[in-house]
Amino acid sequence: MESCQLDDLHITINREGSREFAKVSYPVRYGRYSEIRTPDYLFQFNLNGEIKFIQGLGKTWPDPLEWLKRTAGNDWVYYSTGGYSGVYDSFGEYYLPCPSYVTNAIYVNDPFHDKAVSSAITAWEGLQERIRQMALGSFPAHIKEFLVLAGTNGPDKLETRSRTLHELTGGRITVLPPDTRHVDYEVIPIIVADGCLYRCGFCRIKSKQDFSTRTRQNIMRQIQDLKAFYGHDIRNYNSIFLGNHDALNAGTELLVFAAETAYEIFNLGSSNVNGANMFLFGSVDSILNADNAFFDALKGLPCKTYINIGLESADQTTLKAIGKPITSLMVEQAFARLLEINKIYENIEITANFLFGDLLPQGHLASFIKLTEKRLGMPYGKGAIYFSPLVNSGSKQNRGMLRKFYKVKAISPLPTYLYLIQRL
């Protein structure tokens, strides 16, 4: 760590943050980073000199415990404590990420309407211009290096870089698995398969493509290009997302190839953050087709695996209403299988999504309760259930849904949370 003061700016480079992702109710930073403190803001930068966090220090900032984060996809997300609204109970995290785009949040909370929040982003743009000028001056070598890097990363460059990221994988990641909350959504995306099996009627993120896997060459190219893209900051990552909507259906060989190659080329074993994780989505068919040999292969990987299965509903009428071409019997079998895998494999966790909405048929929630009661005699701590609200963020009608969610959560024998859709 090295610091210097220049007028009203206090610059610190190579700060050491936490080496473990943790669920805490105060601001924490992971890996290594640099920062510039001004009288009004704390600006924090990743190892590429790109702005990553902004925290207001003045009286107008909504809450001294809250901050803004910029994702690799160049979205600003505001981390809110949620006041007294039970964020931890709802999401399993102490902070509610509020993205600057429309998503499925039940909470009515748009911090981007707060002038203090939008001013913080404008303040960074002003600071960035100042850094560009300062970088021409003389400083100790490492500070100068940081200023030169940060001076090149203005808003236009960051926008271009996010487009590059999306081009490398073949398009924006429209939804990350809910389990990526365990690493604050900090995952490097690698697409192993496109499309999905079902093209459900209700789904707003489905692609037009039929399911098809990528070739090994394509996956290798992505991994090499992504290593170059993430640059110095790759040392701050310990997790990958194997996409897209049903990577589980890509089969053992391709998944193991992608995971092992990424682990080695990204050097995840030497990350600034301990542990390594792999996240992916799966479908009812793909989990039913995956035998124990498949999970034995995943078990041998040097990372923990989280697989999120879209079950949506255990009620046949609801499945028909949402246009999902599977049966309630298949959902029941898939649910039984995920419980079995969670019990057998310590480093594999399968979680499940169910839909949540006022307009779903009456039997939907009742069938969920019946399914979990039938399969689990007592509470079980592994294998979260995520309820995905069928709403747009900001709607005032969402409040009643929250009360309904808490009722279901209270009787669910598994850890039960709301699924907040986030893109990359």
* Residue of 15, 199, 227, 382 interacting with ligand SF4 (CB under 6 A): 199
Q: Under 8 Å CB-to-CB from 123, ≥6 apart: which residues? A: 38, 40, 41, 54
Contact between 196 and ligand SF4 by CB under 6 A: the answer reads yes
Cβ proximity to ligand SF4: between 181 and 245 the closer is 245
For position 307 contacting ligand SF4 by CB under 6 A, the verdict is: no
Lookup: tokens for 217: 């060459």
Q: Under the criterion CB under 6 A, does residue 320 sit at the interface with ligand SF4? A: no
Q: Binders of ligand SF4: how many residues, by CB under 6 A?
A: 10
Q: Mask: binding to ligand SF4, 138-177, rule CB under 6 A, as x and -?
A: ----------------------------------------
Contact call for residue 241 and ligand SF4 (CB under 6 A): no
- Which token pair is 227? 């290593």
Helix (H) or strand (E) holding 189: strand 188-191
Of 65, 116, 123, 203, the one binding ligand SF4 by CB under 6 A? 203
CA 24 – CA 314 distance, rounded (Å): 34
Nearer to ligand SF4, 323 or 400 (CB): 323
For ligand SF4, which is the closer residue by CB, 208 or 396?
208
- Dihedrals phi, psi of 19, to nearest 5 degrees: -95, 0
Compute the 3-state secondary structure of the chain and give helix, strand, coil in percent, each to the nearest 5. 40, 20, 40
Per-residue CA distances from 121 to 53, 68, 127 (Å): 10, 9, 10
Q: Does 200 bind ligand SF4 (CB under 6 A)?
A: yes
> Nearest 5°: phi and psi at 200?
-60, 145
Q: Of residues 283, 318, 412, 422, which one binds ligand SF4 by CB under 6 A?
A: 283
Among 181, 235, 245, 364, binds ligand SF4 (CB under 6 A): 245
Which residue's CB is nearer to ligand SF4, number 203 or number 256?
Answer: 203
Q: Does 198 bind ligand SF4 (CB under 6 A)?
A: yes
In whole angstroms, give the CA distance from residue 71 to residue 32.
16
Q: Which two tokens stand for residue 376?
A: 């689990």
Query: Containing H/E element for 364?
Result: helix 363-375
The answer to whether residue 120 forms part of the interface with ligand SF4 (CB under 6 A) is no
206, 299, 320, 370: which one binds ligand SF4 (CB under 6 A):
206
79-108: which residues touch ligand SF4 (CB under 6 A)? none
CA distance 113 to 80: 14
Distance CA 298, CA 23 (A): 26
Enclosing H/E stretch for 295: helix 292-299
Q: How far is the CB of 212 from ligand SF4 (least distance, A)?
A: 13
CB closer to ligand SF4, 28 vs 203: 203
CA dihedral 42, 44, 50, 52 (to 10 degrees): -100
Q: How far is the CB of 388 from ligand SF4 (least distance, A)?
A: 9
- Between 154 and 251, name the residue whose CB sits nearer to ligand SF4: 251
The CB-of-199 to ligand SF4 minimum distance in angstroms stands at 5
Length of the chain measured in residues: 424
Residue span binding ligand SF4 (CB under 6 A) among the ranges 30-38, 125-133, 198-206, 225-233: 198-206
CB of 169 to ligand SF4, least distance (A): 16
State how far the Cα of 13 lies from the Cα of 222, in Å rounded to an integer: 30
Closest CA relative to residue 66, chosen from 16, 107, 112 = 112
Contact 235, 271 (CB under 8 A): yes
Q: Which is nearer to ligand SF4, 235 or 364 (CB)?
A: 364
Residues in contact with ligand SF4 by CB under 6 A are 196, 198-200, 203, 205-206, 245, 283, 310
